[in-house]
Amino acid sequence: MKKQFRSQKNPNTGDISPLPLSDKPKKRRKILIGALAALLLAPVISFGAAVGIYAIWARGVKLDKSALPVSASLPAFYDADGNKLSYKQDSYISADEITEDLRNAFVAVEDKRFYSHKGYDPVRMAGAALGNLKAGGIREGASTITQQLVKNTQLTHERTLKRKLTEIALAAKLEKEYSKDDILSMYLSVIYFGNGAYGVKQACRKFFAKDVDELTLSQCACLAGIVRNPAGYSPKNKPENCVKRRNLVLKLMREQGYIDDKSYEEAAAEQLEIASNVIDESALYGNYLEKAAQEVCEALGITRAQLDGSGYRIHIALDSDLQQKLCALSGQCISAEDVNSAAVVLDSEGFMVGYSSNLPYEVSRQAGSVLKPLAVYAPALNERMISLATPITDEKVNYGGYSPANFGDKYYGDTTIKQAIARSMNSVSVKVLDYLGVDCCAEYLARFGINISDEDKNYALALGATSNGTSPLDIAAAYGAFSRGGMYQGCKFVKAVIDGDRYIYDSKTGDLNGQNCQRAVSPATASLISVALKETVTSGTAKTLSALPFEVAAKTGTAQREDGGNSDGWCASYNDGYTVVVWHGSDGKLEERGGGLPTMHALKIWQLLASRAPMPSKLTLSEEITQVRIDNYSAAKCKHAVAATDNTPDKYVSVEYFDVATIPTSSDSLFENVPAPQLSVDMLNDMVRLCFSCLPIYKYTLTRRDLLGESVIFECDGYDGAKIVYDAPVTFGGKVTYTLTCSSGDVKADCKKILFVDPPFASGQNAT
């Protein structure tokens, strides 16, 4: 094939030389290759630029060394009498205290390249990214032990890109400042193991009742397996999951060369034995000091690690003598070994003077009927939708398939709100909630410091059912509001915090936990609830407390499981000096009810308190309420409270307290406004038949006027129902007048009927 050429002039010689026409495609290829190279290099250049920018930004990220756990100076706690408590919150573990098995277990499962990376693990990050990409979402993280330490001491737990980048930057700085062993010891000092245990030392005590150096290989693996999901792998609550997770840790240890086959098999075969109701040095004060420590951290904006290294002197409200006796009582007042209990004692200022529990953490359980005054009755009274004397019918109800039964399926018929509270009538509580509206109930619960979810906004709330339950501390704070005239104050544990010679908090000048008193309900409403709950003690479900020689207000509650057995029993009580809340509960079948052993437990606590100092004999009631004589008969007929009059018979009168703004009148009293009786007259078989209806509250008099004059032919008093009277007047073809008089005291109403009789009667007799 003949080659084609094109001409080009040589700029040096002027000669024209031929060039191949195929050079043009070569140039294009060079341009294309250059473009592709630039395209491929762009991400690399961009990534390099991003890394450079990140490196510059990361230099400005500050590591807060004061937030890291160190063995420096633990805080000291002092009780209300100034005595230093024997228990101390010792969660720091030094590098020398970490056993080889414990170290290897955590490294194997949490961060196998811990001793080779520089705070973050690019290999693990890439693997996690690929796994998440395949899963189509976030399924696994890539945090190293160093990053987890940073997350627990330096950052919040929000899930954002900026927080993750900050975490990586801080982890890199941490690795430059501290050795690997020191980082591991700090990590093991702060990590959460569930059940209220922070740090591996606490976890050892709570789960195994051991010190760290006493742990077996199997127990080390168990602890290492928990931290990924403390609730899901809890040795107390999910033992089967815990064992599976432990064995996975042991398998990883074998694969990574930390243990041999024999050690693996022996450790995997070891029975999981968890200590129950561990009695150690923290048993007496542990829960109290845990809450006090949380309160200080929240108020001062510091981490738990900072507090543990602060050296603060913390003065708390705890009465140590009372605390010891509360703990002793708790063991005496439960019915079986598998029943747990908690007892809370608040003083009049809202300070926690005693808090005992046989569980190592704060419980949250179904509150049952103790929630009724908070969720239903106090809101309805405060909104002036009801009064204590409001008549209501206790009966079986059904709201869209929701039909709660009273205890024993017993119903009381016509009753009042006060009686419904005292006897804990479920149907009445649901009726009031339906009238009030569930959103209003939820709003008032929040005022009492109890927050519920949207799924809890249903009729079951009237019986105290919530998805997350309620703690004895929350119930105590809420009931304390009634004793303070409707002012809510969260439970307070701490009175003062001293740093060196300087008070950084003093309860006399500030509110540590930021929960300043806020009004939950009016003083009138609080006093009306107190009146109703006094009735619960004198004649209701808390009658056991009537043995006390002074007044207390109380409410009991019982929660049931789906199988019909009980799960929780409560008694919440208070007077002007203290609020006492007792909870008994079990995950098995509980034989107790709130009005039984929990109330007896509360009685013993009140007797203990009374033995230490005189108790006020009466509950203080607000001047915003007053007593009113109530006409119960008229109220039942009119469906609202009616004031009694002078004509109201004593047997229908009761005395009730009312908000002064809602005092009832006597305008609807049936004794003040006697209705005109209805009388029908006709002839039947040569006799006059007279028909009328009687109400038991009136006296009825039937008179006849005929040729012989006027005479009473019938009288009745207290009769309820229809009445028929037969009469034979003397008329001889004339007329006869019948008069039916209905009277109450001096108030009368008449009904007259005139009858022309033919043929005449002469007997003058009548028959009923």
One-letter amino acid at 535 equals E
Q: Residue 628 in contact with residue 655, Cβ under 8 Å?
A: yes
d(CA 686, CA 758): 9
DSSP string, 566-615: EEEEEEEEE-SSEEEEEEEEEEEEE---TTTHHHHHHHHHHHHHHHHSPP
Phi and psi angles of residue 508, each rounded to the nearest 5 degrees, phi first: -75, -20
Q: Are 736 and 705 in contact (CB under 8 A)?
A: yes
Of the residues 369, 429, 527, 586, only one is catalytic, namely: 369
Instruction: Determine which one of 91, 110, 167, 669 is catalytic.
Output: 110
Give yes or no for a contact between 605 and 343, defined as CB atoms under 8 angstroms apart.
yes
**What is the sign of the dihedral through the CA atoms of 180, 182, 183 and 185?**
positive
Q: How far apart are CA 495 and CA 294, in angstroms?
A: 14
Helices (H), 15-69: 23-59
728 bridge partner residues? 765
Q: Is 100 a catalytic residue?
A: no
The DSSP code sequence of 151-213 is HHHTS-----HHHHHHHHHHHHHHHHHS-HHHHHHHHHHH-B-STT-BSHHHHIIIIIS--GG
Q: For residues 373 and 533, what is the distance between their CA atoms, to the nearest angstrom?
A: 9
Residues in Cβ contact with 180 at an 8 Å cutoff, skipping those fewer than 6 apart: 114, 115
**Pairing relationship of beta strands 313-316 and 76-78 according to DSSP bridges:** parallel
Distance (Å, rounded) from C-alpha 514 to C-alpha 519? 15
622 is catalytic: no
**Concatenated DSSP letters for 214-279?**
G--HHHHHHHHHHTT-TTTT-TTT-HHHHHHHHHHHHHHHHHTTSS-HHHHHHHHHS-----SS--
CB under 8 Å to 467, separation ≥6 — which residues? Answer: 452, 453, 455, 456
Name all contacts of 511-517 with Cβ < 8 Å and 24+ positions apart.
512/295, 512/296, 512/299, 513/295, 513/298, 513/299, 514/298, 514/299, 515/449, 515/489, 515/490, 516/489, 517/484, 517/487, 517/488, 517/489
Q: Among residues 669, 613, 674, which one has the least CA distance to residue 645?
A: 669
CB neighbourhood size of 261 (10 A) = 8
The closest of 170, 162, 166 to 63, measured between CA atoms, is: 170
- Cβ(422)–Cβ(535) under 8 Å? yes
The neighbouring-strand residues paired with 391 are: 416
Q: Are 320 and 338 in contact (CB under 8 A)?
A: no
**Cis, peptide link before residue 360, omega less than 30° from 0:** no
The tokens for 550 are: 């002074």
- DSSP H or E run through 718: none
CA–CA separation, 748 and 729 (whole Å): 25
Q: Is 529 helix (H, G, I), strand (E, B) or coil?
A: helix
Q: Could you tell me if residue 223 is left (phi over 0), alpha (psi between -120 and 50 degrees) or otherwise beta?
A: alpha
CA atoms within 13 A on the CB side of 514: 8
Cα 425 to Cα 651: distance, rounded to the nearest angstrom:
25
Instruction: Check if the beta carbon of residue 218 is closer than 8 Å to that of residue 246.
Output: yes
Q: Which residues make beta-bridge pairs with 743?
A: 699, 748
Give the residue numbers annotated as catalytic, written as ranges.
110, 369
